[in-house]
Amino acid sequence: MKFSYSVFERVTTKRVLRNICLWAILVFLATSAISVATAAERKQENKSELYAIGLWGDLPYSDVQALTGVPNLIADMNSQNLVFTVHDGDLKAGSGTPGSVTPTTCSEDFYKQSLGFFNALKAPAAFTPGDNDWTDCDRPANGGFSSRERLDRERQLFFNTKFTLGQRKLAQKVQTAPLCLGVEGAVPCVENRRWAVGNVTYVTLNVPGSCNNLCDTAPDSAEYNARNQSNIVWLRESFKAAKDSNSVAVMIITQANPGWDLTDGTRAPLRDPKTLVETDKQADGTLTPDGYKDFLIALRDETIAFRKPVAYVHGDSHYYRIDKPFLDSEGQRLENFTRVETFGDNVANGLNDVQWIKVTVNPREREVFSYQPQIVPKNRVAVPAV
């Protein structure tokens, strides 16, 4: 069969156009694949980038700290490039101060003052409650409030969205199951949170001092039991999330110093480091109620199973230190566990301990976390800054 030139030209043109289209599609797909790979590599690189966070707690405890020390500390944090900050509980002293200028009982003004501090921070500001914020609010010197009602109020003020406080916000995973107890019954433990920056998982848990609400003015074992189980559930879920996302480390932030061994009875409960049973006794010779053993056993199990670095941040005993006090059931030190205690109020020294800790996070380093105490120049007392 013979084709005219025009027919041949049309057929040839169609073939060329088809080949051009196919070539363009192949180039597009190849370029897209390269772009996706590059984006994935960039995302992985970002996960390995070094960054810094700020830790503080047990502040303010007095008028001078509220009016001078904490504003100085916040200004110091704001002067540095922090990805986020965390206050590990106790936004006031254990009891109200008669004649104070600033709010020192568990009043509405006290919570609003605290909210103002957090929102003065430029970086996202996370927070976990302490005993002075709610469990001790039933003391007459604090106003004689219901502890559950005050915790409900904290949940409404500080934890009413999935975002942190602070001028910049950071989205967090929230424990939404109604496992805790409030005034009206079962409520979500919305103060328990989790988030990731880079390739590191961060967790907050409501574990306060004063025996975890099992002692002091009005112990509440029902509230404790519900919240303790909730904390353990969130702890285990968070370690699973860290494993699933291949996190290189986990940092847990709570308020209480639960006590780890038999060495420091002046600052924390004493406990058998192998069994984790508290050994402290009350005046009548009976054992002190132990609000932490079950939680510590779960923490130990998860730390051993995770195998990578675990940092446990707390306040409560007001003594800056970084050590490795956690042992396994055979008495061997858990090498991948580090306790970090933040600075806190020191009544004898006024502003002397209104300081914070800067944590440098480097996912490429073996230990991931490194710590530097930040002594706020304007808060130095014994040896004033030059």
Q: Where are the beta strands (DSSP E) in 209-308?
A: 249-253
Tens of pLDDT, residue by residue over 322-360, are 999 999 999 999 999 999 999 999 876 678 899 999 999
pLDDT of residue 31: 43
pLDDT of residue 15: 57
Q: Tell how strand 125-127 and strand 85-87 pair up.
A: parallel
Q: What does the alpha-carbon distance between residue 122 and residue 120 come to, in Å, rounded to a whole number?
A: 6
pLDDT of residue 41: 32
| Sheet containing 337-341: order of strands | 173-174, 193-197, 200-204, 249-253, 310-314, 337-341, 321-323
Reported as a pLDDT band with limits 50, 70 and 90, residue 289 is: very high
DSSP string over 66-126: IIIIHHHHHHHHHTS--S-EEE-S--S-SS--TT-SS--SSSHHHHHHHHHHHHT-SS-EE
Strand partners, 127: 87
Question: Is the confidence at residue 219, as pLDDT, over 90?
Answer: yes
pLDDT of residue 42: 39
**Mean pLDDT score, 168-193:** 98
CB-based contact 89:136 (threshold 8 Å): no
**Mean pLDDT score, 186-199:** 98
By three-state DSSP, how is residue 27 classified? helix
Tens of pLDDT, residue by residue over 56-110, are 999 999 999 999 999 999 999 999 999 999 999 999 999 999 999 999 999 999 9
Tens of pLDDT, residue by residue over 9-33, are 444 445 544 554 445 444 444 444 3
**Range list of H helices, 245-331:** 293-306
Q: Where are the beta strands (DSSP E) in 145-300?
A: 173-174, 180-182, 185-187, 193-197, 200-204, 249-253
CB atoms within 10 A of CB 109: 11
Tokens of 133: 């914020």
Which H or E run contains 371?
Answer: strand 369-374
**Mean pLDDT score, 226-235:** 98
CB-based contact 148:182 (threshold 8 Å): yes
pLDDT of residue 351: 83
pLDDT of residue 47: 78
CB-based contact 327:273 (threshold 8 Å): yes
By three-state DSSP, how is residue 70 classified? helix
Give which of 179, 186, 210, 199 is closest to 241, Cα–Cα: 199
**Mean pLDDT score, 50-57:** 98
Reported as a pLDDT band with limits 50, 70 and 90, residue 265 is: confident
Reported as a pLDDT band with limits 50, 70 and 90, residue 186 is: very high
pLDDT of residue 19: 56
pLDDT, greater one: 94 or 36: 94
**Mean pLDDT score, 47-58:** 95
Which H or E run contains 357?
Answer: strand 356-361
Tens of pLDDT, residue by residue over 238-259, are 999 999 999 999 999 999 999 9
Of 40-49, 158-167, 222-231, 310-319, give the lowest mean pLDDT range.
Answer: 40-49
pTM here?
0.88
Write the burial class of residue 102 (CB in 10 Å: 0-12 exposed, 13-18 middle, 19+ buried).
middle
Q: Tell how strand 200-204 and strand 193-197 pair up.
A: antiparallel
Q: What does the alpha-carbon distance between residue 169 and residue 134 come to, in Å, rounded to a whole number?
A: 25
